[in-house]
Amino acid sequence: MALLKVKFDQKKRVKLAQGLWLMNWFSVLAGIIIFSLGLFLKIELRKRSDVMNNSESHFVPNSLIGMGLLSCVFNSLAGKICYDALDPAKYAKWKPWLKPYLAVCVLFNIALLLVTLCCFLMRGSLESTLAHGLKNGMKYYRDTDTPGRCFMKKTIDMLQIEFKCCGNNGFRDWFEIQWISNRYLDFSSKEVKDRIKSNVDGRYLVDGVPFSCCNPSSPRPCIQYQLTNNSAHYSYDHQTEELNLWVNGCRAALLSYYSSLMNSMGAVTLLVWLFEVTITIGLRYLHTALEGVSNPEDPECESEGWLLEKSVLETWKAFLESLKKLGKSNQVEAEGADAGQAPEAG
């Protein structure tokens, strides 16, 4: 028994075809929007590629760009099919291709749903790539004279100013690395020598941060050095002086920014997916309604349209049977090829 059977007369078939034609052109615009969102996200990720550890984060924007292009192509073609469906002579050339086209549309909708889920689930991979990328970026902050790394200082400073953050997880991350280049250290100074000797790796570590960590909302001039030494500054307590520096780490700030972007894009893509599913269902009804016209010479006659020719369970069983037959035919062909090679070997 057919699933969700609906009766159509000539008037309903025409209205369905016209409505689907209009919806498909709206979907072309939606495809352009998805393409634009993917392109925007790719540009935003490339802006901070220096503080990201790998290129896995570009999977989602690349997928959005690809799905946007496919949406434009498929919906343009579907709009043409719906327009030609009003003319039996023009529809005849599409008739053999409509069923395979609907199967491709189903696969496209599945892929679009997976991309939508990736938009919401990208946070985990993004968090790890930002953690490693920021750590490496901070390590190379001092290499202003090293080719290939001389831009890292500017990148980190602009990042901390733009996102109002400091360090990877917080400003104390700067205490664990040497962020001042040896070029600007006076090695004849006793203080510099003592600090380098006191460190196992021979690094010059200070309880200070770059200027870009300073919070302009602080009522006092920014304190960058000797942050943990209360006696070095008048009326200062490093445990309560939160306004002096940005408190949030850059990993959390960037993660929050990209997560909000991804959630917004995921919501838009989900709406487009629902729209695409509606169009695919409408195309299926139009296809079965036109196939069910008993007398092609009488366009006014009634016909029946349905979503599935059989029930869901029967359709699933038929699908599994077709897969089994396909597997058996491939096995027979392989055995035949082996049998043909055996006499030749003899």
Residue type at 268 in one-letter notation? V
Judged by DSSP in three states, 233 sits in coil
pLDDT at 346: 44
Closest to 264 in 3D by CA, of 71, 47, 110, 34 = 34
Contact 25, 78 (CB under 8 A): no
- Radius of gyration in angstroms for the set of CA atoms belonging to the chain, rounded to a whole number: 32
- As beta bridge partners, residue 211 has none
**Cβ contacts of 259-264, under 8 Å, gap ≥ 24:** 259/123, 259/126, 261/41, 261/44, 262/41, 262/60, 262/119, 262/120, 262/122, 262/123, 263/119, 263/120
pTM, full prediction: 0.79
Joined tokens for residue 19 = 């409505």
- As beta bridge partners, residue 7 has 304
Q: Is the dihedral of CA 166, 171, 177, 181 positive or negative?
A: positive
Judged by DSSP in three states, 340 sits in helix
Are 259 and 290 contained in the same domain?
yes
Are 222 and 73 contained in the same domain?
no
Closest to 173 in 3D by CA, of 218, 197, 141 = 141
Helices 152-163, 123-139: axis angle to 10 degrees equals 130
pLDDT at 239: 66
* Ordered DSSP codes for 8-56: E-HHHHHHHHHHHHHHHHHHHHHHHHHHHHHHHHHHHHHHTGGG-S-SG
Are 239 and 260 contained in the same domain?
no
Bridging pattern class, strands 303-305 and 6-8: antiparallel
Are 41 and 96 contained in the same domain?
yes
Joined tokens for residue 14 = 């025409």
pLDDT at 253: 93
Are 79 and 209 contained in the same domain?
no
**Domain count across the chain:** 2
Are 186 and 95 contained in the same domain?
no
The pLDDT profile of the chain, 346 residues, written as one tens digit per residue, is 556 677 777 788 888 888 989 999 999 999 999 999 999 999 998 888 888 876 667 889 999 999 999 999 999 988 888 888 777 777 778 777 888 888 899 999 999 999 999 999 888 788 888 888 898 889 999 888 888 788 899 999 999 999 999 999 998 999 999 998 888 888 888 888 888 888 767 888 888 899 999 988 888 888 888 888 877 777 777 666 566 888 899 999 999 999 999 999 999 999 999 999 999 988 888 888 877 665 566 666 677 776 666 665 666 666 567 667 666 665 655 555 555 555 555 4
> By residue range, what is the domain housing residue 64?
1-135+251-308
Domain stop point among 246, 268, 297: 246
Contact 142, 174 (CB under 8 A): no
Are 258 and 115 contained in the same domain?
yes
Query: Tokens 């008048």 map to which residue?
Result: 234
Please give the torsion angle defined by the CA atoms of residues 166, 171, 173 and 177, in that order, rounded to the nearest 10 degrees. 90
Residue type at 249 in one-letter notation? G
Are 184 and 258 contained in the same domain?
no
Are 270 and 288 contained in the same domain?
yes
CA end-to-end distance (rounded Å), the chain: 56
Instruction: Answer whether residue 153 is part of any domain.
Output: no
Q: How far does CA 208 lie from the centroid of its chain?
A: 37
- As beta bridge partners, residue 303 has 8
Task: Report which DSSP code applies to 245.
Answer: B
Joined tokens for residue 20 = 């689907």
Are 195 and 289 contained in the same domain?
no
- 103, 212, 266, 281, 310 from 317: Cα distances, Å: 17, 64, 34, 21, 10
- As beta bridge partners, residue 8 has 303
pLDDT at 49: 84
